[in-house]
Structure 1
Amino acid sequence: MVDFARGVLYPRDQSAIAELDRRTPSPDLARFVEFYWHVRWRAEKPYEAKVLAYPSVHLVFEEPVPLVYGVQRSLFVRRLEGRGQVLGVKFRPGCFRPFAAGPVSDLADRRVPATDVFPRRVEDVGRAVLRDTDLDAMVAAAEEFLLGCLPEPDPVADEVAAMVEAMTADPALFRVDQAAGTLHVSARTLQRLFADYVGASPKWVLRRARLQEAASRADQGARVDWADLADDLGYFDQSHLIRDFTAALGVPPARYAGLNS
């Protein structure tokens, strides 16, 4: 399983304001849900939490109503003020499709009321979850709700989840045609499946994995040889990595690393 905090930017700054925790799903839900995540914060002044998100859909129990977040292809920014908490359900990439009424790409870069997807009682569950202070009890309430509205298993969703895992775990995969060959499907089939099940293109998934790795290296505090990292991640050269990183995060990698030192 991936590091659930991977993709969280400026982790040192955020850890001074917010506590992150996680719980694993029950066996009955593990086919659909990767994990539950919980953030509790106390911010004396407004703070913008920033995340390079995974290709996953999330159900988030938050105020004033629960929301479903599609894949966030740009930098995700959440403003934290005062005190608060949210409980999120991170679905395995591709595995929200059985819950959805249409292609998951319809949710890309959007957040919609959870009642657009789930039964209306999701709002009552959300209020009960956020009234609690015990994380295990919060997760138990979310689990009970999800178990009551499980769709039929979709074998294709499982296949797509495995594809995303293979693509993001193998640093030798840089291009869509490479990934398609490794997965024994055509590039067109891969693109069609990702539009329907993932909500982001195969090219975006590969690029996001590389950017997360670059940010993770910078977060470690040690000096980074950006030319070597660019080569490791399959970039044409260092300047290509710098352009890609800057476009996604808003600052060049060396400056981002300095802000985390």
Structure 2
Amino acid sequence: MDAIIRSTNSLGKGILHPSMGDTKFSLNRFPPSPDTSFFIQHYWVIQWDLRGQAPYCQTVIAHPNVNLVVEKETTRIYGVSSATSSHLLKDQGWVVGVKFKPGGFYPFWNAPVSHLTDQSLGIEEVFGLDSLSLEGEVLQQYHHIEQAAHRVDTFFRDRLPERDPNVELVSEIVYGIRDDRTIRQVNDAARMSGLHQRTLQRLFDRYVGVSPKWVILRYRLHEAAERMHQDEANDWTALSLDLGYYDQSHFIRDFKSIVGLSPEEYIRARKV
């Protein structure tokens, strides 16, 4: 796997105020092996050293993905977060994560992923083993993060379920929503996928854990936050229409309901 792994320090979409986080922690991502790539989008490693500094709280607008997080004594599988999630970093530490493809966790669990939304599971509830042995093997690799990602990949290669064709279908639809800004409504996503709206909604409930409407809104808010970070959002009416909203009031309402700040407040906070 070492020959396949590539890393990057780009924080990417969904991480709020990324320029502030850049100075507080590092984020590296590694692709899965060919065997696990049907189910897993990538592995990620976050490291920080804030000894002698104040703790730092990082807020994230979640993606429509289930994650396994390997962390000392708190290794768990996390469903999609319907709102933002905040993570307090202090002292020195690191975590290793698995970002499943949209729908990619379902074959391991065989239960509607919507049951896991805003919830978490211990890995023993899914894989029938204590998390401490995996934690120990992974977290001893602090100075060899490629090996940590490799160990987690091995864990899943040893436990691969049968490939479910709906995983590939759901992933393609979600990535299509992410990449095609003309998809602004659920009927747009249904037309793109060739599925009836109700079929699409049932598929997302079982495999993704959130609705197609949620996914569309979330990716548009990711884009809005990124534009604000890059100082490309000065006209709220134009931005709202570009993102598929009928007016700026609905965009501002949705942004504040998820982020907890209005767009103006978010920009001011970035400049502090």
More moved, 185-194 vs 170-179: 170-179
User: How far does residue 157 in structure 1 lie from its aligned partner after superposition?
Assistant: 1.1
User: How far does residue 258 in structure 1 lie from its aligned partner after superposition?
Assistant: 2.6
Alpha carbon RMSD of aligned pairs, Å?
1.4
Choose which of 199, 214, 222 in structure 1 pairs with 2:224.
Answer: 214
Q: Percent identity?
A: 38
Match of 2:112 in 1: 103
Match of 1:118 in 2: 127
1:175-254 aligned within 5 A: 175-222=185-232, 224-254=234-264
Choose which of 1, 14, 27 in structure 2 pairs with 1:7.
Answer: 14
Instruction: In structure 1, give the amino acid aligned to 2:185.
Output: R
Aligned length: 259
Contact 1:52 1:75 in 2 (8 A): yes
Contact 2:73 2:132 in 1 (8 A): no
1:90-126 deviation digits (Å, cap 9, x = unpaired): 0000111100131111110112211111241543112
2-structure distance, mates of 1:24, 1:63: 23
Instruction: In structure 2, give the amino acid aligned to 1:167.
Output: I
2:225 aligns to what SS in structure 1? helix
Instruction: In structure 2, give the amino acid aligned to 1:6.
Output: K
TM-score of the aligned structures, taking structure 2 as reference length: 0.91
1-structure distance, mates of 2:161, 2:130: 17
Unaligned 5+ residue runs, structure 1?
none
User: How far does residue 236 in structure 1 lie from its aligned partner after superposition?
Assistant: 1.0
More moved, 193-202 vs 61-70: 61-70
Instruction: In structure 2, give the amino acid aligned to 1:165.
Output: Y
1:186-227 deviation digits (Å, cap 9, x = unpaired): 110011000000000111101101111100101113453222
Match of 1:148 in 2: 158
Runs of 4+ with >3 A deviation:
none
Identify if the C-alpha distance between structure 1 residues 4 and 27 changes in structure 2 by more than 3 Å, giving closer, same or farther: farther
Choose which of 120, 137, 151 in structure 2 pairs with 1:128.
Answer: 137
2:127 aligns to what SS in structure 1? coil
Instruction: In structure 2, give the amino acid aligned to 1:115.
Output: E
Unaligned 5+ residue runs, structure 2?
1-9
User: How far does residue 4 in structure 1 lie from its aligned partner after superposition?
Assistant: 6.1
